[in-house]
């Protein structure tokens, strides 16, 4: 059974002169156990697509079916609950609550779902330690680096053991070692069975770890297939490199970008 499916998905922001067609008809079926990487140039609609897949936003046209249920047919409350129980979302901008510690942030989705405080905290600490973040459990987001906050956000998404994990640039703020560790953790989750992961990334090394790569351009799917079957000129930004792309070229340009952030 597909975990998530989109049919004729369109998303338009604004109107008149400020109108932007972020998604222009996306048909996509993702099955259990897939790890899908979404790549493409900045502004091509990756975050918009992820927000629609996660029911964070609703489409202008078309449908999103989460385990055969049309997200638009749910009330706001039902959609919130479906999201909290079935979907882990790692936002591009972390979205940690500033007044809660790392452990409290991670425990929150469990507590909202009625899990006891003690068990929530215990599972939160275990999720944090899987990302080697247990030493920061008592820290507020403002007391952590960007990469540390990112790992807390990943722990928060994983703690509910979601059927579907949606991650927007989950390694964008991580150094190479932590990026590799995080991707290894995601791959392990997928390999273990029930988990499905959709990850937006600019990092071709991350994308190559996926079971499937989808490249968007101008709000439409331009390429959809297994890794290592890409055209030689492809890189994660969707730009052509004159000398033919290699993973090393991409990682070099990405680490340059990282140091600018
Ligand atoms: N809330 C919004 N209001 C108006 N326009 C928006 C909004 N969100 C996104 N857009 C526009 O929609 C298009 C797609 O944006 P989106 O954030 O999905 O791109 P992206 O592929 O995630 O880019 P990036 O790699 O830079 O994160 C862009 O042109 C963007 O300016
Ligand atoms: Mg984005």
> What CATH number should be reported for the domain holding residue 91?
3.40.50.300
Nearest protein Cα to ligand 1, atom 3:
13
Q: How confident is the model over 19-67, as pLDDT tens digits?
A: 999 999 999 999 999 999 999 999 999 999 999 999 999 999 999 999 9
Domain that holds residue 225: 2-260
Are 170 and 90 in contact, with CB atoms under 8 Å apart?
yes
Q: Which two tokens stand for residue 31?
A: 């099955």
User: For 171-215, how does the pLDDT look when each residue is reduced to its tens digit (9 = 90+)?
Assistant: 988 899 889 888 988 888 888 878 899 999 999 999 999 999 999
Q: How many domains does the chain have?
A: 1
Query: Residues 72-99, buried b or exposed e (16+ Cβ, 10 A)?
Result: eebeeeebeebbbebbbbbbbebebeee
Residue nearest to ligand 1 atom 4, measured at CA: 13
Q: Name which of 43, 48, 8 is nearest 28 in CA terms.
A: 8
Strand order in the sheet with 2-13: 20-31, 2-13, 61-66, 69-70
User: How far does the centroid of ligand 2 lie from the alpha carbon of residue 181, in Å?
Assistant: 22
pTM score of the predicted model: 0.85
Expressed in angstroms and rounded, the spacing between residue 200 Cα and the centre of ligand 2 is 8
Which residue's entry shows tokens 């290699």? Answer: 246
DSSP letter assigned to residue 94: -
Q: Which ligand 1 atom is at minimum distance from the Cα of 219?
A: 14
**Residue 242: Cβ-neighbour burial (10 angstroms; 0-12, 13-18, 19+):** exposed
Please list, in sequence order, all residues whose beta carbon lies within 8 angstroms of the beta carbon of residue 182, skipping any fewer than 6 positions away.
Answer: 131, 151, 154, 170, 171, 174
Closest protein CA for atom 24 of ligand 1: 42
């Amino acid at each position: 059974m597909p975990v998530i499916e989109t049919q004729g998905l369109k998303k338009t922001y604004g109107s008149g002169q400020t109108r932007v067609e972020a998604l222009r008809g996306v048909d996509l079926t993702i099955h259990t156990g897939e790890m899908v990487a979404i790549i493409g140039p900045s502004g091509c609609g990756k975050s918009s697509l992820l927000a629609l897949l996660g029911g964070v936003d609703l489409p202008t046209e078309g449908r999103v079916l989460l385990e055969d249920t049309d997200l638009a047919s749910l009330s706001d409350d039902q959609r919130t609950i479906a999201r909290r129980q079935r979907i882990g979302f790692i936002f591009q901008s972390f979205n940690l609550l500033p007044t809660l510690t790392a452990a409290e942030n991670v425990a929150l989705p469990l507590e909202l779902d009625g899990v006891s405080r003690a068990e929530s905290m215990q599972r939160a600490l275990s999720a944090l330690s899987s990302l080697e973040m247990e030493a920061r459990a008592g820290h507020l987001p403002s007391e952590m680096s960007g990469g540390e906050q990112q790992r807390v956000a990943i722990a928060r998404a994983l703690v509910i053991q979601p059927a579907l994990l949606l991650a927007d640039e989950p390694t964008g703020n991580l150094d190479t070692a932590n990026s590799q560790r995080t991707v290894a953790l995601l791959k392990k989750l997928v390999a273990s069975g029930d988990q499905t992961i959709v990850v937006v990334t600019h990092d071709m090394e991350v994308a190559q770890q996926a079971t499937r790569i989808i490249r968007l351009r101008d709000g439409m799917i331009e390429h959809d297939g297994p890794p290592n079957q890409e055209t030689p000129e492809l890189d994660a930004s969707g730009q052509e490199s004159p000398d033919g792309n290699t993973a090393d070229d991409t990682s070099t340009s990405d680490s340059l970008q990282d140091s600018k952030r």
